[in-house]
Amino acid sequence: MLFMLSLLCVLAFLCMFFQKRFERMLAPYVCGLMLIAYALAMFQWLQWLCWLAYAGAIFSVLWVLYQIVRGRATVWQQRAGRLFFTPGLLCFAILAILSYSRYILF
């Protein structure tokens, strides 16, 4: 669960940094994750993917905190509301919950 939250945190950061909506960033993000996972699996370093995700989440949080200290908090709040919290995020969350509930319930 922490792994998925860290991946979502990195995705939120990328949405705000590149100023793209959640729906537009999700596909390239997942493709990039698959390429990274494939490259790590070739060298049998797949367990590093968790640590890369955690490091990315920590970097994302630190970057946002740095922007808040610089006084640009309102810009990042507006970007988060406009770019990340979209109907696409709601659809993604519902599909993810349904997908994981299948493994939990059955």
| Reported pTM | 0.83
CA 100/CA 39 separation, integer angstroms: 26
Q: Would you mind telling me the total number of residues written for the chain in this entry?
A: 106
Q: Where are the chain's structural domains?
A: 21-105
- Can you say whether residue 85 is alpha, beta or left, with left for phi > 0 and alpha for psi between -120 and 50 degrees? beta
Q: Given CA atoms 50, 33, 59, 20 in this order, what sign does their dihedral have? A: negative
32-43 mean pLDDT? 95
User: Is pLDDT larger for residue 23 or for residue 100?
Assistant: 23
User: What per-residue confidence (pLDDT) applies to 40?
Assistant: 95
Residue recorded with tokens 């059955």: 106
Q: Angle at CA 94, nearest 5°, toward 85 and 61?
A: 40
In this predicted structure, the answer to whether residue 103 has a pLDDT above a threshold of 80 is no
62-68 long-range CB contacts below 8 Å, 24 or more apart?
A: 63/13, 63/17, 64/13, 64/16
63-96: pLDDT as tens digits: 988 988 888 888 878 888 888 889 999 998 898 8
